[in-house]
Amino acid sequence: MPITRMRMRPWLEMQINSNQIPGLIWINKEMIFQIPWKHAAKHGWDINKDACLFRSWAIHT
């Protein structure tokens, strides 16, 4: 039996509403949200701090 996973949009909405990821916020509740982004080539980039949303999605999928 295949495993059912949440699709990306509902999963993102759940993450935004949980307020657990700094910088992940609603701009307009119906459609637009802001995702925190710091390029990995930037000095001081930390996978645990700057990529937690992407890491969480990878674990989920």
Q: Can you give the pLDDT of all 61 residues of the chain as single tens digits? A: 677 888 999 999 999 999 999 889 999 977 899 988 878 787 888 877 888 888 888 988 8
CATH of domain 8-60: 1.10.10.10
Nearest to 38 by CA among 27, 22, 25, 26: 22
- Note the pLDDT of residue 1: 65
- Note the pLDDT of residue 11: 93
Record the pTM: 0.75
Question: Domain limits of the chain?
Answer: 8-60
